[in-house]
Each structure stands twice: as structure tokens, then as C-alpha cells.
Structure 1
């Protein structure tokens, strides 16, 4: 008779986090923090369909004392959803910039900041650093390469798809057990260890009144953005960044290959030349969630770059 494998013990943080809730643009914003508030501040911004606790492994690998501040973006984790407001059905990308500025104004209003972002979070901090160059001291983008270039001819179809998806409504999967959530995390990232997945799962999902588990994300994030991604605009913003920029890429990033599509990777990467002061690093044996796969190396790169 076969018996199910025992559940793995969850990863035990070396540096436990604390959390607080602040009000940003009418939303209850959940902000996770590690370290002494008197230490140098380091802001970390997570990616799409992720949460602030995702940085725990990197924080534990840091060798210096930092006051790390990491929000759950609007509609993710324990931060409020915009769709609870009447008439709101979508998430608009510029709102993340406004949320980030409010966060920085709250925690470090009078000095340039160090920003680290992963994936969508890296795209947000990269744009912010070009829009507010004087506010950013150093910028680290983990797998923050932007989206696929678009053509104006795609606009009619994109708007039509957006209308159709709003009408149909968006849903996210419901899981029967916490172990099913763990399995879902490891399906997305096969390199994720059992203990890491067991740690992340309760931060990534919550139990419903019926005993099921639902993701801590507003389903509206699944609705397509009706506004096309215009790489020429993004490159113009990146060109205004005055801070040194570290772009960290995973050697085995399936996400990068998907976004590049038919464009050869060397040609795709030319977009990064827009940054005036660019430094690049590639991490082996890692995929898109490189901060989970190689947290020690990611932490080393971040600290070396910030303190050199």
C-alpha cells in the first residue's frame, strides 16, 4: 500500500520579518520589514502573482545590516484590492509608480533610495528611476527585462479582448489543501525546495470559510492590459535613469525566452543599452525565480553592487 510522502518542514527564517499596514491611495497597504530601522534602507519590490515574503531567502543571505522594506503590491498578498471599489475592474500600471512613490515618501522622504525589484517589480522600479532620477541612488533589476514589443495594429484586438475579459470576469484556482498549494508553487518552479515551498505557501494563499485554499491575489490581475507595451517609451524613460543599474538575469530563464519570442536574445537585450550606467550579471542554475533558486548569489550581487 502506498502512503503519501510526509509534508516537509517549512523553511525557518534566520531573520524573521515584521509587518505593518499603512494607507496608500485609499488602500490598506501591507508592508513587510526586516532589520533595525536605523540601518541603511533597502526597498524590495516583488513580481506579478507574488508576495513580499518571497524575498525571505535573500534577506537571510545578506551579510550586512539592512532595514529591508518590501510591500505587497495592490491586489496581492495582504494589501487591499482595487476592485472592491465601485466601478473598478482593472489594475492600471501607472498606479504602481504612484504607490511606490507614496511608500518612499513614507519611509525615506529626504534621501535617495536603493531599490531592488523582481520581474514586474523590477519593471516598476526601473520606470520610477527614470521618472524620478534624483530619488534613486542605486537600482537592482532581477529579471526585469520588460515585455514583448508591440505594434499599433494590435490595439483594436487588445481593446476588444479587454472588454470581453471584463464581461466574462476573471477567476483564480481554488485548492483543496495546503499541500496542493505547495505542489502548485513547485510546478511553477521545479527548483523550489520542499521546505521553501512549505514556507511560501501560507504567504501565497489563505484558507476560505469552506476549508479550501485561495490565492492571495485579486483575480482581476488576470485581465489583459488594454494599453499596449510600448518599448520605445520605456527606452526613453530608461535613458533618464542616472543611478547605476545592475541587471541580473537567470541563465535558464524561460520567461525571458517567452517574452523575447522570435527575437534572438542578443537582439532583445539591446534594449538595456538605454541605461546610461548598466552593469549585468547572469546566474547559473536558476530560472525566473532566481531569488528562490540562488538566494545566496543574489544577495552577494546586491550587496557588492550597493556597497562598492
Structure 2
């Protein structure tokens, strides 16, 4: 199994009525800017362990499990609203570093959250690093009726048990599932991640630590014009990191492309784009050394 180099401390803090699970590496110190790392959809904070181990210097790193993921408490709700992640992040920073801007890193969904947060609370972000967080395809108002109808249909399916998360017979099966999704993932890392990505339930099955409601479509349209206005308000120097083998166009089936994302980035006042070679979407698993080096160079 993968051998951890820098051991984290696991904490639970009360945020907005939920017990939030947070992984913390290192200790706060005068003059040391906190490095806040937020994970993506169906991922967990522990996913950043490989990057933390690859950092050349000692950092005070704070990484939460988002609501409904990992070991953070699940809210009493049957759906999740994207704005709640921004609110959770704001309360998290109030708890850990209320007086100090942070270096903020986000992957995938976490990258999208980080970009929006940096525009809404620009004074709280010193440097911003977005790992494969591309946003979503443009929508138009005419899609609204169908979007709400689809959301309600999926909500009924959730309550009828049609969208339950699959269970696995063993942690080994969970590790194989991770490697199936990401063929580049080293077996030793997959075995280690499996123990953080899933927990055994009462029936003995290993259940993924992600609430089934996360699989529902959003009821709200993705409004690019609003997103661009938020991007314009970002004051932190921003680094957007892409994997050379990430199939963004294939994922969105042609509805959204990398050139379109680059066009949106023109709204960000100080933005640099970098690439990670021989990596897919889970670039922090595939090439943690390259990711760590980019982070350290950018926040220095």
C-alpha cells in the first residue's frame, strides 16, 4: 500500500449546522499563508495526500470533505445547491484563518467553486489555482422548463431508490473501481484511496462516501454571463492547470469545448494556463509531483 510521507490530522468542525470533516497537514505559523485545497465531485479531501507528500516545503494545508462527501455530515435534504459550497468555504475560512488571505487550490468541481469564491470574496484569496475545473456548457432561458422537469423526475427516482449508490463486496473491489475509472492510477495508491473513499455499511458492503443526491441534475441553468462577471472580480493571480490527456470535449459530448473555456478565462484579470503531461482528469493522482511543483512555483 502507498506509504504516507506527511500524516494529516483529522478534525471535525461545526459549520452551518453540519459537522464538517477536515484534513489538516502542518501547523499554522506567523507569516505562513494557509494552503486550502478543495476536492471535486465524488472525491474526498484525502485525495490530496499524494500532492501534499510531494511538496518540497512544509505548508499549513487545510482540506475539507464537502457536504455529503467523505466524512462530513449529510444535510437533511434530498438535493444539493451549488451556492452552499461557497457558503461552506466562507465559514471554513472564518474558522481557520479569519484574518488572513489564503492560497486556494480546487480540483474539478472544487476548481469551479474556487473560481467563483475568488470573485465573490476577492479579499480572501491571495493566489488561486484551478485544477481541471472547466465550468459547464452554456445554457439559454428556453431550457428552463425542461431543466426543472428533469430535476423533479430525478428527485422522484431518488426517493424510489432508483439512484442509490452501488455497494462493493470488499475494499479491493473499490480499488479496482477507482482504477477502472482512472487506468493510470497506481494499484498501491488505489488501495490506499479506497479506504478513504468508501466505508463498510451495516450489511457488510463497502459504500462510496458520496450521497446519491449528488447524482441529480441541477434545477438551475448555468448562466455564463453571471460567471464571467464573477471572473472579472477576481483579484488574485490565477493559474489554470489542464491535463494533456483530459477528454473534456468527449465528456460533454461536444456541448462544451476547451477553446470555449479558454475564451471565458479572458475575463479573469491575471490568468496563466499550464499543462500537466501524461495525466488525465485526476491529475493530482496521476502526476502529484508535477502538480506540487506548479503549486509551489505559483504561490512562492
**Counterpart of 1:23?**
14
1:226 has 2:219 as partner? yes
The equivalences for 1:9-48 within 5 A come to 10-38=1-29, 39-48=32-41
2-side partners of 1:119 and 1:268: how far apart?
13
Distance 1:21 1:267, change over 3 A: closer
**Counterpart of 1:213?**
206
Distance 1:60 1:251, change over 3 A: same
2-side partners of 1:50 and 1:193: how far apart?
17
**Partner secondary structure for residue 266 of structure 2:** helix
TM (norm. structure 2) is 0.95
Q: Structure 2 residue aligned with 1:126, among 112, 115, 126?
A: 115
- Segments of 5+ residues of structure 2 without an aligned counterpart are none
2:137/2:256 contact within 8 Å kept: no
Query: Per-residue CA shift, 1:101-131, capped at 9, x if unaligned?
Result: 0000111101111100001011111101100
- Report how far residue 254 of structure 1 moved: 1.8
Query: Per-residue CA shift, 1:226-276, capped at 9, x if unaligned?
Result: 001111111110010011000000011124542372555324421111100
**Counterpart of 2:287?**
294
Cα root mean square deviation, aligned: 1.2
2-side partners of 1:75 and 1:165: how far apart?
18
Deviates more, 1:134-143 or 1:166-175: 166-175
1:148/1:260 contact within 8 Å kept: no
1:117/1:141 contact within 8 Å kept: yes
**Counterpart of 2:274?**
281
Q: Structure 1 residue aligned with 2:146, among 145, 157, 161?
A: 157
- Segments of 5+ residues of structure 1 without an aligned counterpart are 1-9
**Counterpart of 1:187?**
180
TM (norm. structure 1) is 0.93
Query: Per-residue CA shift, 1:146-196, capped at 9, x if unaligned?
Result: 111112221111111111111111311111111110111011110000000
**Counterpart of 2:79?**
90
Distance 1:283 1:155, change over 3 A: same
Moved segments of 4+, more than 3 Å:
262-265
1:43/1:68 contact within 8 Å kept: yes
Q: Structure 2 residue aligned with 1:254, among 247, 253, 258?
A: 247
**Partner secondary structure for residue 274 of structure 1:** coil
Total equivalences in the alignment: 294
Query: Per-residue CA shift, 1:2-41, capped at 9, x if unaligned?
Result: xxxxxxxx20110011111000110000000111232431
2-side partners of 1:129 and 1:155: how far apart?
28
Distance 1:260 1:116, change over 3 A: farther
